[in-house]
Amino acid sequence: MPDLTEEERKKILNGKPIGTWILMLTVGISMVIGWLFLYYGVFIPRGIVN
């Protein structure tokens, strides 16, 4: 990793964690899609519990 200037270090440390938010949204959306698939694709078609 190249040596960073003090200004670049401050910019990185004070920056917003955009990558973390994107990763959290991706995981959250995929879990919601998975839950909807299980609910509507598996549980609802099987009907009530006998």
CA-CA distances (angstroms) from residue 50 to 18, 38, 46? Answer: 48, 19, 11
Question: What was the pLDDT predicted at 38?
Answer: 96
User: pTM for this one?
Assistant: 0.67
Nearest residue to 34 (alpha-carbon basis) of 44, 45, 42: 42
pLDDT of the residue at 50:
78
Under DSSP, the state recorded for 18 is H
Integer Cα distance of 29 and 34 in angstroms: 9
| pLDDT value at residue 5 | 92
What pLDDT shows up at residue 1?
56
- The 3-class secondary structure across 31-45, one letter per residue, is HHHHHHHHHHHHHHH
Structure confidence by residue, pLDDT tens digits, 1-50? 578 899 999 998 898 999 999 999 999 999 999 999 999 999 999 988 87
**Domain spans of the chain?**
16-50
